[in-house]
Amino acid sequence: MARIANLTLSFCITASILLCSVFSQAQPTKQTFLWQGQEREYYAYVPATYNNDSDILPVMVFLHGFDGGIDSYNNSIDFQQAADQFHWLILLPQALSAHAQVLGMNIPVGSAWNSGIVMTVMGNSFTPNSNVDDAGFLLALVDSLGLAYSLDPDSLFFTGFSMGAFMTHRMAIEHADRINGVAAASGLIPLCFADSTPSSHINVLHIHGTEDNMIHLDGTASPIPGMGQMTLGLSVDSTIAYWRRVNQCNLAAIANTYADTEDDGMLFTLYTYGSNADDTRVALLSMEGGKHKWYEEGYDVQYLTAIHDFFTGSQSYSFTGINDYFQRNQLTFYPNPARDTIIVESPCKTQLFIYNANGRIISSKPLVEGCNVIDVSLCPAGVYLLSTAVGQSATLIVR
């Protein structure tokens, strides 16, 4: 694991004085960090009991959603309480405002991370802030905080909500050499990274509500009124399949149902896929009835606590049901949508059937246990049903 990098001597002296004076305050105030000639805003929450002489702090970076401002998150989520409880430094950075070219005009659409997703406004497709090096900014900001605090270089974690979750997946794919774990809530792997491979294994928690009305389970989205529906990322199943393949995790999951203690109308279940290669884990926290929302107080599960539990391997909640080996009837494959090939993960040797929209079998392929590369390049653009002889099925979109 790479160590937190040192900056130039002159910058070190200036930043150290600034940061030390800033964080001596009891409550965090909004700060700025100069990156590539532009001031970027952020909040940093330091444990109240932090001792610079003896403590080494893990770092959790929280990435807000599309058109979100860090002030609203600062007011709605008690990050300071979490920092005190976990004894972690929690960082809340601000994305820059993005613009779309519509009818020759440069239209502001809200603050957005350069996650790689492609959005469409009035028929015009664009990647928000595609020319902004957000990944560089985020890592440099962490490095700068290392000048004022003793940070644990082997405990750097990212979490995010909605577009922040898309960016979290991107950070995991591109910077697994520095990041130890990620948790992405209501945001998926952007389509442009479907064929990318991280440099190392990384712990991944994906969180999604079954009734998310904005980022749907199949990867389509309806981000804001006027944009219409678009496909922004892999489906939830394909996202989990991607990380299971990368981390060489088991096909079967250990399923844990959280105790239903609150009258919240939801049921929280954690599916954890372990690895035979090392101790890397991939998990899906699914909320039956869950919407596009960051859940904290008043629910069976509070996101920040569940995320901290995943990162540390601890357990703050009780479970009412545990299935040692749980294999969902959903056929696991990715990418989806696809163009040329898909990778199908099969728990056994069986036969794959591809049906067109009229219910006719257009192709049949043998599957071996494990990963199978299936050519779909001859399938015209459209929606297909994949089914196996052992009863698994899923919908495939070919573009």
Q: Are both 61 and 107 inside the same structural domain?
A: yes
pLDDT, tens digit, 9 for 90 and up, residues 111-143: 999 999 998 777 778 899 999 999 999 999 999
- The domain containing residue 361 runs over which residues? 332-398
The pLDDT of residue 201:
96
44 in a domain, yes or no?
yes
Instruction: Decide: residue 105, CB within 10 A, 0-12 exposed, 13-18 middle, 19+ buried.
Output: exposed
Q: Are 85 and 217 contained in the same domain?
A: yes
Check pLDDT > 60 for residue 315. Answer: yes
**Last residue of one domain, picked from the residues 296, 326, 356:** 326
Q: Is the pLDDT of residue 85 over 70?
A: yes
CA torsion, ordered 133, 134, 140, 146, to nearest 10 deg: 180
Cα–Cα distances in angstroms (integers) from residue 189 to residues 81, 201, 202, 377, in the given order: 30, 16, 15, 22
Most trustworthy range by pLDDT among 122-131, 142-151, 214-223, 359-368: 142-151
Domain-ending residue, one of 310, 326, 342: 326
Residues 197 and 289 in one domain: yes
4 found inside a domain: no
The predicted model gives 35-51 an average pLDDT of 96
Q: Which pLDDT score, from 0 to 100, does residue 25 have?
A: 39
Same domain, 213 and 115: yes
Residue 138 has a pLDDT of: 98
| Cβ atoms < 10 Å from Cβ of 211 | 14
Please give the Cα distance from 347 to 283 (Å, whole number).
Answer: 18
Q: In the prediction, which pLDDT does 5 show? A: 37
123 — alpha (psi -120 to 50), left (phi > 0) or beta? left
State whether 15 and 29 are in the same domain: yes
d(C-alpha 387, C-alpha 352), whole Å? 6
Determine, yes or no, domain membership for 40. yes
Same-domain check for residues 80 and 201: yes
Sheet-wide strand order for 370-375: 332-334, 341-346, 370-375
> The domain spanning residue 316 has which CATH number?
3.40.50.1820
State whether 164 and 289 are in the same domain: yes
Identify whether 194 is part of a domain. Answer: yes
Phi, psi of 105, rounded to the nearest 5 degrees: -110, 150
CATH of the domain at 349: 2.60.40.10
Whether 2 is in a domain gets the answer: no
Query: 104 pLDDT band (50/70/90 cuts)?
Result: confident
Q: Tokens standing for 125?
A: 């497709």
Cβ atoms of 83 and 51 within 8 Å: the answer is no
The yes-or-no verdict on residue 3 having pLDDT over 50 is no
Higher pLDDT, 198 or 338: 198
Q: Does one domain contain both 347 and 229?
A: no
3-state secondary structure the chain: CCCCCCCCHHHHHHHHHHHHHHCCCCCCCCEEEEECCEEEEEEEECCCCCCCCCCCEEEEEEECCCCCCHHHHHHHCCHHHHHHHHCCEEEEECCEEEEEEECCEEEEEEEECCCCCCEEECCEEECCCCCCCHHHHHHHHHHHHCCCCCEEEEEEEEEEECHHHHHHHHHHHHCCCCCCEEEEECCCCEHHHCCCCCCCCCEEEEEEECCCCCECCCCEECCCCCCCCEECECCHHHHHHHHHHHCCECCCEEEEEECCCCCCCCEEEEEEEEECCCCCEEEEEEEECCCCCCCCCCCCCCHHHHHHHHHHCCCCCCEEEEEEEECCCECEEECCCECCEEEEEECCCEEEEEECCCCCEEEEEEECCEEEEEECCCCCCEEEEEEECCCCEEEEEEC
Instruction: Please tell me the predicted confidence (pLDDT) of residue 226.
Output: 54
Provide the pLDDT for residue 187: 97
pLDDT of residue 305 exceeding 50, the answer is: yes
- Of the three residues 326, 341, 369, the one that is the final residue of a domain is 326
CA distance linking residue 116 with residue 191, whole number of Å: 8
Task: Say whether pLDDT at 375 is over 80.
Answer: yes
Give the Cβ contact number of residue 384 at 10 Å.
20
Residues facing residue 398 across a β-bridge: 338, 382
Query: What is the predicted pLDDT for the residue at 327?
Result: 58
Given a cut of 70, whether residue 166 has pLDDT beyond it is yes
Please answer whether residues 258 and 317 qualify as being in contact, where contact means their C-beta atoms are separated by less than 8 angstroms.
Answer: yes
Task: Tell me what pLDDT residue 370 has.
Answer: 79
Asked if 299 and 392 sit in the same domain, the reply is no
Q: Give the Cα separation of 328 and 217 in Å (integer).
A: 15
Indicate whether 24 pLDDT > 60.
no
More confident of the two residues 224 and 258? 258
Rounded to an integer, the average pLDDT of 210-230 is 80
276 and 383 in a single domain? The answer is no
Least confident of 41-50, 140-149, 331-340: 331-340
Overall number of domains in the chain? 2
Residues of the chain with pLDDT > 70: what percent? Answer: 88
Residues 302, 346 within the same domain: no
pLDDT exceeding 90 applies to what percent of the chain? 57
Phi/psi at 17 (5° precision): -60, -45
Q: What is residue 198's predicted lDDT score, i.e. its pLDDT? A: 96
238 lies in some domain: yes
State the pLDDT confidence band at 330, using cuts at 50, 70 and 90.
low
Question: What are the structure tokens assigned to 128, written together?
Answer: 């928000």
CB atoms within 10 A of CB 131: 6
Residues 46 and 23 in one domain: yes
Query: Is 187 inside a domain boundary?
Result: yes
Q: Average the pLDDT over each of 108-122, 188-202, 322-336 and give the range with the smallest value.
A: 322-336
- Omega before 337 within 30 of 0, i.e. cis: yes
Q: Tell me if 317 sits within 8 A of 270, measured CB to CB.
A: no
d(CA 144, CA 315): 32
Stretch 286-303: mean pLDDT: 94
Residue 199 has pLDDT above 70, yes or no: yes
The answer to the question of residue 166 being in a domain is yes
